């Protein structure tokens, strides 16, 4: 009986131990197996079974002693061996539990999605493309730079054709200026005043009318005028309205009418109806300045004079003979360079060249025979073919300005003015 009691007690101890060990083993099994549905139910049953033993058994289990830890370790080992050598269903459940545990973790799926993104090579081709485009960009930049340099060189090309000259001495200036005069004399041996006239009075009147208009327009107007008033006395006697109508085609006809009536009366009253042959007397006449006086003196009386009109002044500055704008100062500068005997014909030659070649807006530099002597070469058209198209009058195959030019003039005479259309 005592053995039976001892055996019963032993069995009771084993039973109690097994009851305490089973929950620990079950807890580990649940955690390691991923908390599958069957294991979770069994775990609840074991927990309920523990509750029937009362609080007396809790003092033997909690906290875990060294022996309990050994039992937990042994139980974990046996449970792991049982899972490894168990049925395929349990192994499947265990594997499914592990996969479920992995899938339940929120960070791992994100990492799994990011891993393919990191392995993607979408950026690599972009880098390669950029690497390939880099040489093309450099090449393009070099090409643009070369093109810009070429354009800049092309723009500077005309400047190279007319390099900056060294400061010219007075002696060199005089020599070059006189050589230009000789070249112009060979180019225009027929140079002459381009106003039609038969006496000093007609030349004086025509010169006054030539202001702000062309010589050809004056030459087309004066035949009718001189047919009505051939002398100063006749012109002074004309009614202003009649004189205005006669000279209307030349422009500024009211101001010019006042000048013509005034100078005609002065010639009649002060000089006996004759044009004086002195500069001092001529400039006292209404509407007569130094330019008009020099034209009359040089071409009607043979008195040398420099005629500084718009063409002469422009070319004198381009040739480097003067830097002045005032006509009287230009005359003084040029007169100091040339001998007095050359003044009148120099004026004709320079004016001829200014009207035919060295134009105000677009000079024909490429067709100019004195271009090597001109410091302003390059201001106009330098291409020879294009420059030839800019030539005027006899050099361009066009009629001249005079209706009755000199016999040695190689060009055609200007056409007379067309008669006014009859009123219908």
192: three-class secondary structure by DSSP: coil
214 within 8 A of 398, measured Cβ to Cβ: no
Whole-angstrom CA distances from 65 to 21, 46, 60, 61, 71 are 13, 21, 9, 8, 10
CA dihedral (317, 322, 326, 327) in degrees, to 10, reads: -80
CA angle 344, 349, 354 (to 5 degrees): 125
Among residues 189, 229, 190, 191, the alpha carbon closest in space to that of 209 is found at: 229
How many CB atoms sit inside 10 A of residue 97's CB?
19
Mutual orientation of helices 327-335 and 310-318 as an angle, nearest 10°? 50
Q: Residue 157 has which token pair?
A: 């090309």
Closest by CA position to 71, among listed 23, 141, 127: 23
CB of 187 closer than 8 Å to CB of 353: yes
Dihedral of alpha carbons 379, 215, 292, 337, sign: positive
Token pair 């002597």 in the structure block, residue: 373
- Residues with a catalytic annotation lie at 291, 309
Residue whose C-alpha is closest to residue 291's, from 323, 316, 339, 327: 327
Which helix or strand (DSSP H or E) is residue 83 part of? helix 66-85
Cα–Cα dist 292/211, whole Å:
10
Q: How far apart are CA 60 and CA 53, in angstroms?
A: 12
- Which of these, 290, 221, 301, lies nearest to 257 by C-alpha position? 221
């Amino acid at each position: 009986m005592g053995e039976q009691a001892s055996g019963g007690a032993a069995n009771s101890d084993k039973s109690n131990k097994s009851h305490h060990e089973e929950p620990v083993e079950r807890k580990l099994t649940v955690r390691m197996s991923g908390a599958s549905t069957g294991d979770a139910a069994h775990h609840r049953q074991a927990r309920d079974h523990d509750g029937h033993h009362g609080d007396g058994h809790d003092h033997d289990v909690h906290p875990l002693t060294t022996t309990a830890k050994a039992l937990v370790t042994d139980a974990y080992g046996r449970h792991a061996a049982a899972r490894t050598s168990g049925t395929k269903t349990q192994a499947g459940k265990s594997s499914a539990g592990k996969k479920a545990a992995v899938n339940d973790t929120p960070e791992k799926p994100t990492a799994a999605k990011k891993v393919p993104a990191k392995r993607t090579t979408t950026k690599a081709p972009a880098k390669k493309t950029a690497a390939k485009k880099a040489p093309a960009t450099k090449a393009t930049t070099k090409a643009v730079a070369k093109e810009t340099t070429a354009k800049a060189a092309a723009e500077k090309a005309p400047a190279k054709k007319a390099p900056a000259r060294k400061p010219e001495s007075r002696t060199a200036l005089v020599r070059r200026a006189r050589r230009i005069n000789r070249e112009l004399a060979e180019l225009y041996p027929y140079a002459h005043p381009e106003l039609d006239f038969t006496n000093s009075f007609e030349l004086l009147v025509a010169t006054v009318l030539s202001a702000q208009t062309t010589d050809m327009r004056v030459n087309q107007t004066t035949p009718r005028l001189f047919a009505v008033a051939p002398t100063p006395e006749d012109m002074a006697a004309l009614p202003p309205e009649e004189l205005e109508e006669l000279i209307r085609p030349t422009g500024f006809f009211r101001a010019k009418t006042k000048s013509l009536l005034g100078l005609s009366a002065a010639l009649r009253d002060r000089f006996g109806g004759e044009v004086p042959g002195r500069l001092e007397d001529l400039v006292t006449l209404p509407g007569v300045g130094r330019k008009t006086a020099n034209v009359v003196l040089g071409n009607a009386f043979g008195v040398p004079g420099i005629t500084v009109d718009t063409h002469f002044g422009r070319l004198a500055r381009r040739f480097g003979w003067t830097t002045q704008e005032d006509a009287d100062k230009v005359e003084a500068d040029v007169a100091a360079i040339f001998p007095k005997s050359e003044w009148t014909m120099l004026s004709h030659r320079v004016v001829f060249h200014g009207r035919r070649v060295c134009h105000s807006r677009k000079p024909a530099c490429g067709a100019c025979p004195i271009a090597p002597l001109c410091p302003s070469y390059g201001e106009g058209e330098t291409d020879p073919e294009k420059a030839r198209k800019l030539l005027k009058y006899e050099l361009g195959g066009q009629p001249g300005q005079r209706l009755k030019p000199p016999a040695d003039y190689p060009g055609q005479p200007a056409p007379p003015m067309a008669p006014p259309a009859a009123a219908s």
